[in-house]
Structure 1
Amino acid sequence: MPDKPLSFSATCALLILMAEDREVSNPELKEKYGVTVTGKERTTLNDGGFVTSRRTGRSFSHVLTDKGWHHASELVRDGISAPGTGVAAAAVKALVGNLQRHIDRSETSLAEIFGREEDLGPGVNEASTAETPAEPIAQQSIAPPPIERVPASEDIETLIRKAYAQLADKPYAWVSLTRLRPRLGNTPRDEVDATLRQMIGLPDVRLVPESNQKMLTDEDRGAAVVIGDQAKHLILIGA
């Protein structure tokens, strides 16, 4: 059964949580934005799988789910159709509806735009996160043990996703393109790069540069994909 369309107020609550990109309590939301996610909006977002809420003390805290991020990307791509009136509602619709222009021009993603610095990986912050520590590219094994290669008959995005899954040693691990490209067989380089540039717009894909440029080898630089005006060396799938 398809999801019931969200109301404008529930849509705005989802967008606030997207912009925060972290678990936020109702008292924090009240202090920062003058609103809370309660009642019908909270129930709708929880039941639809867009937001996970948990009781913290006498209040609730909320965080966007993967489905919530995916819906936010759809709103950015297609615009907000939920009814909302007044200048504030028009401003929200205008900002969200035209955010896609920046994403297309910079070839980035919502995760990179709103992601917090500590969560965006080594390309943004040299300190690794507690959950997903990333080792410098120079310390990674460029020739991992042989693993079954993905069939060349599959589409390129599937090839990339399967190659990433073979190389990632844990969920949310950063994998260098130096290690990933050899897993794609004889797939043309320009087609792989074009696919990577398309994938960065997906809510579960992140591509970032290596923060410690001194650690890069000529092979690492050659394996990078240039998106916008920046060379990206690392990929994470599943964010």
Structure 2
Amino acid sequence: MPDTSLSQRETAILLLLMAEAREFTNPELKEQFGVEIGKKEREHLQRLKLIEVGKKGQAFTYALSDDGWARAAAMFRDGIPRSSRLAARALEAVVRAMVSGLQRHLERSSAPLAEIFGREEDLGPGISEEPLAEPPVARAAAEVAHPPVARVPVSEDIETSIRKAYAQLADKANAWVSLTRLRPLLGDVPRDEVDATLRQMIRRPDVRLVPWENQKTLTQADRDAAIVIGDQPKHRIWIGA
């Protein structure tokens, strides 16, 4: 049976690649974080299928695989083993990368820090933490499970129509609803008017628009339905009670 345990450096590498969520070369890792992936670590992480290795010129490239994302998530859920206590230098690199990743998430989602770091019971009545993106098959099954809904009458103002459409689609209080499903309920309201209204609505404390965390699960319909705010496509809406 292959050895699935990770060394201190391998644990740091996995967490660092997770926090940055992109492809790296060794020179980039060395320059930004003072950490390099050696041959021994590369081969071990490849055998465990935790990283994807490519080539850019003469340099290897490294990115987390799906199994690598799952392993990193398990570390956060279960806690980093005491036997894998990170070396100070590697830990400093991981912390810097995680702070950078947190800043990107805040820019994308406009989530307040109190919501991210607060306990669930402190987030306010009925407000739950943002769910992870579902895999394509699970999303497709969920869409099929929803019963048909009628278009919202266009006699009222657009914000009211959006709120009524959201209420029809939300399967529970404070649920996240995809714009892919919401837009068709607005009938013939011009796209630019709907988008202008959504941009106004996110200034209200009870409305948020966020992107899908895992962009690989997006369909073309999801991309077409997105609204771009601050150079970031947003795919889901949340409206508080």
Normalised TM-score (structure 2): 0.47
Using the size of structure 1 for normalisation, the TM-score is: 0.47
